[in-house]
A and B are shown apart, each in its own frame.
Chain A
Amino acid sequence: MKPLLEIKNLKTRFYTQDGVVKAVNDVSYSMNSGEILGVVGESGCGKSVHALSMMQLIPDPPGKITQGEVWLDGQDLLTLSEEEMQKVRGRDIAMIFQDPMTSLNPVFTVGFQIIEAIQLHTDMTKDEATHRAGELLDLVGIPGAAERLNDYPHQFSGGMRQRAMIAMGLSCEPKLLIADEPTTALDVTIQAQIIDLVNKLQAELGMAIMWITHDLGVVAEIAHTINVMYAGSIIETGKIRNIYKKTRHPYTIGLLGSLPRLDDAPGTELVSIPGLPPDLLALPEGCPFAARCEYRVEQCVVENPPLVEIDGPGHSVACWRWEEIAGIESK
């Protein structure tokens, strides 16, 4: 089957006064329709920027996509002009943002904004679009949906706003929904509700979802596949089972190790990865994680490891020593 989304060698740069920020470095992967992909990594590792690059929404200037192809359903998005891109956005790819407090325009009613999104890509009349907007709000579980269309965003709670944003994202039934840390600004109970909602919607509507987050717990609950990103590149990718059970990259091991576990003995200290991520203005020659890695050897500093497939399809790692690490870890 042909994948829905295929990204090849995507590179994004920001040309700032201090130098060139290498925000996304040679990211390649593919996604099937109906798949939920989790993209994890710490702040500033290029998760959001690579998603915005796909939609060509990075601020330009200073940002620039210098290389790559983004194939969505047989169409290379990066070759499209801004006008053509405006038709793709919202219709084929939709996006939900991190902070529901600021992602709705405060001067318009929620209904107006959803109706606007619907009417942009369909021929619906105002009445039909209003009806549809009511259905969508109902679908995302807002009680009394039809009446709440006339409310302003400040009359909604944070969770409700995020639901409204999801409704707006779903309005034209996109093939791909990018959720950029949609639960980060919400408290845990609301997080759980939103995750349930997205799971339910995905089962009903069958679109592909890219879930960007730094919360490994959230991803474990929702994703089929996981991309782990570090310093603008993917360093480990695979089916969720492989990532959690057969972790191979030292960074992923560190990330998982830094999570508290229910079965830890009381008083166990949380492990943290020493050091800081590299400066994206001056990436090291070799593996970007080398400076913080406990398995570092000479080769790591000199040469950047490519992403290679291990244990059969569905699990790739960018590490020179994954075989040895596999040995150490399984002990």
Chain B
Amino acid sequence: MSQINPEDFTVTDFAIREHRSLWGDAWKRLISSNTARLGMFIVILFVFSATFSHYFWKYEPKKDLDYSLKLKAPNLVVTEEIPSIHPFGTDKLGRDIFRRVVHGGWNSLRVGIVAVGISLLFGGVIGLLTGFYESTTMTRVERIVLYGITGFLMGMLSAWIANQFLQLVIFTILGILAGYFEGLWAGKYYRAVFFGALGALLNFGLALFVGLPVALVCGSLGLLAGLLLSVTLDGRFFSNVMMRAMDMILSFPGYLLAIAIVAFLGPGLGKGMIAIGVVGIPVYARLTRSAVLSVVNKEYILAAHSVGESHGRIIFRHITPNILSPIIVQTTMGLANAILSAAALGFLGLGAIPPEPEWGAMLGDSYRYLTSGAWWAVIYPGLAIMLSVLGFNLLGDGLRDALDPKLRT
């Protein structure tokens, strides 16, 4: 009888599967979806054409002018009348629309990235801080910083009323003082009296330069701020002030607020980016805060506290990676939104300054010629907007399905 040698057999252990990371898993799910692949394709095409044209296909909008080629229909062969090829036709100044659409992509990409970057940076930090300190004891330094910020926010109203920048500084200092002298007369009523009086006097005195009625209003605001800052020494108060400020931004219709900000700052692509970014801050702040709140009471965060980790470390190392997925999805969708907003501003003449190629501005320049049959001057920039927005939205949808399997049906 032959001996059975166990080494001749290979046993497959079904319980052990190949190591796959969270991101590897998500990537597999993402590329298995047709719509997400389509979205990814459009986005890659868009990003590639924009960057490539910017760096390797120089275009000087200020010199691009040729009245002899005014409003020519798309042509793919050279004729006697039109000596050059214009696949998308030309616009009212005889500029090649294809070229302008491709270069406009660079502007849209920039607006998208910078505006979403602004929203994400500010909104994300606000969301992290408000969510985390909602139920965590602050250290002294943290208290000073957070109370300074709170004071700054509370000072905005009176700074606006008195039209004095110094009001902001005073309220900030008031917050910092309340945070720094946290233990001064703690729990005593004269603490509130002291800070209230300090705030009232400082603001009253400063606003007196403007006029008595203004000084009275600012003085009472200062009293209120001093009282609030000195009595409530916890993160929930900070969180409340922050989120109410976010609510205030959110209560304006987005486009209207963006237009208002641009009107205040002056037109230009850069100003447009800031405007669109600021309008987006509350969305990210709320999203991040809610994600943080759902994570912050998990036991592994408590465990991180219990081994003595500092707050900054817990926020950025332990909480942030756990809330990334909703933020990634929102960021992708937000890019589409920012491109759309930039186009809207451009259309109204508030975004890019004219010769600069920008899709919205191109639409705004050419829609008048639609009645005279020049459809190409409007259709192609419009298509570019639609496709890029569609691409980012499809990709965002795909990412959401890939990163959050719970939502899958």
Contacts and interface: CB of A to CB of B under 8 A. Distances in A.
Interface string A99-110: 100111111100
Given A60-B234, A61-B235, A105 B139 contact: no
Contacts of B318: 105, 108
A82 B139 contact: yes
A295 B321 CA distance: 56
Contact of B303 (A56, A87, A95, A107): A95
A213 interface: no
Interface stretch (A113-121, A138-146, A215-223, A314-322): A113-121
Contacts, number: 84
B139 A90 contact: no
Contact of A60 (B136, B139, B302, B303): B136
Most chain A CB inside 10 Å of its own CB: which residue of B234, B298, B299: B299
Contact of B139 (A59, A83, A91, A102): A83
Centre residue among B299, B301, B307 by max chain A CB count within 10 A: B307
B199 to A, nearest CB: 23
* Chain B CB within 10 Å, residue with most, of A61, A116, A121, A169: A61
B68 interface: no
A252 interface: no
B308 A81 contact: no
Nearest to B135: A59
Interface string A115-131: 01100110000000000
B308 A86 contact: yes
Nearest to B319: A105
A168 B306 CA distance: 10
Given A107-B321, A107-B322, A95 B137 contact: no
Contact of B306 (A90, A104, A105): A90
Contacts of A108: 318, 321
B300 A61 contact: no
B308 A89 contact: yes
Contacts of A60: 135-137, 234
A243 interface: no
A106 B139 contact: no
- Sorting the interface of chain A by its residue count into under 10, 10 to 19, 20 to 34 or 35 or more gives 35 or more
A88 B135 contact: no
Nearest to A83: B139
Given A59-B135, A116-B309, A81 B140 contact: yes
Contacts of A106: 300, 322
B299 A89 contact: no
Contacts of A99: 299
A94 interface: yes
B169 to A, nearest CB: 28
Interface in B132-178: 135-140
A98 B307 contact: no
Nearest to A102: B299
A88 B322 contact: no
A82 B308 CA distance: 10
Contacts of A95: 303, 306
A107 B300 CA distance: 11
A103 B318 CA distance: 12
A56 B136 CA distance: 10
A165 B303 contact: yes
Given A82-B137, A107-B22, A59 B306 contact: no
Main secondary structure of the interface of B (DSSP, over half): helix
Nearest to A104: B300
Contact of A89 (B138, B298, B306): B306
A68 B345 CA distance: 61
B303 A86 contact: no
A211 to B, nearest CB: 16
A269 to B, nearest CB: 37
Nearest to A151: B19
Nearest to A56: B137
A102 B296 CA distance: 12
Contacts of B310: 86
B304 A88 contact: no
Contact of B305 (A89, A91, A105): A89
A90 B234 contact: no
B297 interface: yes
B37 interface: no
Given A61-B135, A82-B137, A83-B140, A103 B300 contact: yes
B362 to A, nearest CB: 45
A86 B282 CA distance: 32
Interface in A55-100: 55-57, 59-62, 81-83, 86-91, 94-95, 97-99
Given A59-B136, A61-B235, A105-B318, A97 B303 contact: yes
A102 to B, nearest CB: 4
B303 A103 contact: yes
Given A82-B140, A86-B308, A86-B310, A97 B297 contact: no
Nearest to A82: B139
Given A59-B297, A90-B308, A104 B139 contact: no
B99 interface: no
Contacts of B135: 59-62
Contacts of B322: 105-107
A121 B303 contact: no
Contacts of B321: 107-108
B307 to A, nearest CB: 4
Interface in A121-173: 121, 165, 168-169, 171
Contacts of A171: 307
Given A61-B235, A61-B236, A102-B298, A117 B139 contact: no
A89 B307 contact: yes
Contacts of B302: 57, 97, 103
Nearest to B300: A105
A145 to B, nearest CB: 17
A147 to B, nearest CB: 12
Contacts of A89: 305-308
B236 A86 contact: no
Nearest to B137: A60
Contact of A103 (B140, B297, B299): B299
A108 B303 CA distance: 13
- The CB with the most chain A CB atoms within 10 A, among B138, B297, B302, B318, is that of B302
Q: Which 3 interchain pairs have the tightest Cβ spacing?
A: A90-B308, A90-B307, A89-B308
24 contacts: A59-B136, A59-B297, A60-B137, A86-B309, A89-B307, A89-B308, A90-B309, A94-B306, A94-B307, A102-B300, A103-B299, A103-B302, A103-B303, A105-B300, A105-B301, A105-B303, A105-B322, A108-B321, A120-B309, A121-B308, A165-B303, A168-B303, A169-B307, A171-B307
Interface of A: 55-57, 59-62, 81-83, 86-91, 94-95, 97-99, 102-108, 116-117, 120-121, 165, 168-169, 171
